Structure 1
């Protein structure tokens, strides 16, 4: 029906028709897929949720005399320094080593990244390896996003295509990456915003690929690669949506362009720090199949209910539940009503999709052709620990 080049031409002429995912779903319910496909060019999706497999690449610039940094702390949070002399990687879940009060102990890499994006000044302490070309042994300073060279997010795993619902069937509270889970099925927590989530609207990754331009943290980013734990072979419903965690994306984007509204540090009690991140993807409506996939509703999407009280890699489940049921605020597990709440902000997820729509309509955001498809055949390999020595086989 249409190409990305044709859509971009319409963006340039400001004649493009852009709808959010919710607007597309409502239109399909009214007039059907065929008519809707004739009317719309682009559909915007979004999510705002914790994405702990995130971090920032930072280049400080050289000191005088130069230093080859081997240990570094930014606002008390260790940053990895095992490559270039003044190149650093600050992980979102890295924990502060400061002991100056409970607030600092709850502060992690995500909070430091968010502060830098907000233009705040943060402290830096570095220890160097003394060499002939890098004679300096240490230094301390303060930095902002404007006093460093490169500052960009490189996130190994974002945008899970579906996830799980966490519950606790045990007899004590559990503190997890989904937040606190109360004993004896006292509550349930889900992560994905459901039918507005980016990859649930492109279940077979037909239009999203390596090189796709995206909304990342309020700035422009790109799909850099498949994400870690990318698992497109997850079991799927007839509508092609997965029944649990499936595809993931590695994302990259210039943090100096990002907006602190869409990048926020957070902390999970007795679990650790993380990063709340807004991500949106604009899906080109190339044909009726793409439109039909975008028409999926919350009642047609499911997630597994996983019991975190069993400390194993593969945990038992209480079956599948639809996102329509999850968003009602209460589900039933083995005849018992259970309170349920989202970890993602559904409201802010909608706002991401709306802001991206406005960018496109104003001509400030164009779509890109993927330079390569995302793989469709990845499996998940477990890592088992063996006692004693292992036999090496050439």
Structure 2
């Protein structure tokens, strides 16, 4: 029906018809797939959820005399410095760990602060304290320095996130007898609550289940700025079992994303903390899907009742945990589910409201002619198996 070049021409003339994923589902229910496909050019999807496999690349610029940084802390958070002399990678889940920090300074507020919070502050234009120790060489004679940086006083500052946009995930519960503190947040004992983290039918990759419309190089909304799909994500598992509608029944595809953090907005990149687990980063990501043919609309018409996730019991401390079966996102979003005959309250880690707002903002960019779609340069692999790490010859204790 269309090409990306034809759609971009309409975007440039501000003549493209753009709908959010929610609007598409409503339109299909009203006029059907074929009629919708004739009139819509782009579908925007969005999510705002914790994405802990994220971080930022920074280049500080050289000091005089120069330094070859081998240890560096940003507001007390350790950054990786094992490559270029003044290149750093700040991981979202890295915690405050400042040498010589006194017990008085190591308060609750500091313990809850991590790389994600520093990234948010830099994006917001706030000053960040930097302390660096160097390896003294003939090229780099300086041994240490301290300064204050902002996003405007360093060269490069961009997010490079090895694993974002999980295509589906799990529902966490706790069938044990004590509270558990997990990457889904606190799970109360004896099935006291359930937590899920995917926004369901408006989530980007659930509207393009076989990743036919995106690939390496695809332009996206990332943290309030323009980003790109850089590669498959870590733990990419497209061979996950799927329903007849091609939706995976659990964690499946993932994407590595990249984008200029100097263009981003701290509204869409926020540090967060999970009690007794650690810091992380909430990120808004939106993916535009070009309507190239009717099948695009058919896939985007998927509803929460047609998508499922496994209910996983975190009380069993193993890599493969037992499940209580599959549950639909429609049931999850009702706020209460039933497990083994017991009513269980449910909460979402993803903000459904802000996920919708990501899709709306991306729609507005496209309608205004400010955001063009891009052809991918290579497909996302569809044949990756999920390989666990088996500790052959090692004695592993679960105590």
Verify: 1:279 aligned to 2:285, yes or no.
yes
Q: CA RMSD in A?
A: 0.8
Q: Secondary structure at the match of 1:379?
A: coil
Aligned counterparts, 1:96-175, within 5 A: 96-98=96-98, 99=101, 100=105, 101-175=107-181
1:1-29 Cα shifts (integer Å, max 9, x gaps): 00000000000111100000000000111
Matched, 1:182 2:188: yes
Instruction: Tell me the residue number matched to 1:2.
Output: 2
User: Using the alignment, how far apart are the partners of 2:179 and 2:347 within structure 1?
Assistant: 17
Q: Distance in 2 between matches of 1:45 and 1:388?
A: 45
**Any idea what SS the aligned residue of 1:45 has?**
strand
One of 227, 236, 239 as aligned partner of 1:230: 236
SS in 2 for 1:261: coil
TM-score by length of structure 2 reads: 0.97
What is the TM-score normalised by the length of structure 1? 0.98
Determine which of 298, 314, 322 is the counterpart of 1:316. 322
1:216 to 188, 212, 222: 222
SS at 2:378's partner residue?
Answer: coil
The 3-state SS of whatever aligns with 2:383 is coil
Q: Does 1:85 align with 2:85?
A: yes
| Corresponding residue pairs, total | 389
CA-to-aligned-CA distance 1:62-108 (integer Å, 9 cap, x gap): 00000000000000000000000000000000010145121011100
Superposed, 1:208-357 pairs within 5 Å as: 208-357=214-363
In the alignment, the residues of structure 1 paired with residue 276 and residue 386 of structure 2 have an alpha-carbon distance, to the nearest angstrom, of: 28
1:20-70 superposed Cα distances (whole Å, 9 cap, x missing partner): 000000011111111110010000000000000000000000000000000
For residue 365 of structure 1, what is the aligned residue in structure 2?
Answer: 371
**Which whole-Å deviations, capped at 9, do the CAs of 1:107-160 have from their partners, x for residues lacking one?**
000000000000000100000000000000000001000000000000000000
1:388 Cα deviation (Å)?
5.7
Report the 3-state secondary structure (helix = DSSP H, G, I; strand = E; otherwise coil) of the residue aligned with 1:381: coil
Q: Please report how far the alpha carbon of residue 387 of structure 1 lies from its aligned counterpart in structure 2 after TM superposition.
A: 3.0
After TM superposition, give the deviation of residue 386 of structure 1 in Å.
2.6
Q: What CA distance in whole angstroms lies between the structure 2 residues aligned with 1:250 and 1:208?
A: 13
Q: Distance in 2 between matches of 1:17 and 1:314?
A: 45
Gaps of 5+ in 1: 390-394
**Inter-partner Cα distance in structure 2 for 1:361 and 1:388:** 57
In 2, distance between residues paired with 1:370 and 1:240?
22
SS across alignment from 2:267: helix
Distance 1:128 1:263 in 2: 31
- Summarize the Cα distance change of 1:137–1:194 in structure 2 as closer, same or farther, 3 Å threshold: same
Equivalent position of 1:193 in the other structure: 199
Match for residue 392 of structure 1?
Answer: none
Q: Which stretch shows the higher mean deviation, 380-389 or 215-224?
A: 380-389
Which residue in 1 is equivalent to 2:24? 24
Gaps of at least 5 residues in structure 2 are: none
In structure 1, how many angstroms separate the alpha carbons of the residues matched to 2:296 and 2:321?
Answer: 34
The C-alpha deviation readout for 1:276-295, integer Å capped at 9, x for no partner, is 10000000010011110000
User: Where do 1:43-82 residues align within 5 Å?
Assistant: 43-82=43-82
Return the alpha-carbon distance in structure 1 between the equivalents of residues 168 and 226 of structure 2.
23
SS in 2 for 1:94: coil
Using the TM superposition, give the Cα deviation of residue 247 of structure 1 relative to its aligned residue in structure 2, in angstroms: 0.2
The answer on 1:207 being equivalent to 2:213 is yes
Q: Deviating runs (4+, > 4 A) in structure 1?
A: none
1:341 and 1:300 map into 2 onto residues whose CA distance is: 19
Aligned equivalents of 1:210, 1:29: Cα separation in 2: 32
Counterparts of 1:29-40 in structure 2 under 5 Å?
A: 29-40=29-40
